[in-house]
Amino acid sequence: RLASIRQDQPHLVGTTVDMREMPDMLPILAVLGSLAEGRTVLRNVAHVRLKESDRVAAMLQLRRMGARIDVQGEDLVSTGVGVLQGRVLATHNDHRVLMALAVAGSRARGITSLSYPHAYRLSYPTFLEAMNAIGIPMRVAAPGMSPARASERPAAAVAQA
């Protein structure tokens, strides 16, 4: 069974999604829920803790960016905040967590720095190019460069090599 997300409105609106059939979507849906107007409930998330990383715990890092997100029983519940704050976050070398947090960084004030910056290559080798092509600036900073010096213009997400 396929799921689709369609954006017809100029802003995101919270929703409820059962994660049993699509656990790999949890990271990006958690980010979208943190940015959406209203409440988003991702139901039945316990099994998502057993993927490449504990993706539920990884997405709770969105709190550090200002998101209102919490685990309630078997659900991951968020109330949208609209704009996040850039932070240094751990991706746990999980490609889906990295890509989702990079998208969160694209809606953050300031720079978001992510660990394991090349993890996206596992499932989406052209992720950075695709994001840049649609106007979301992302890049991997050279080892040893601070994010602030790595670019003359602010980047949505900077992953440290």
Catalytic residues: 24
Give CA–CA dist 131/65, Å, rounded: 20
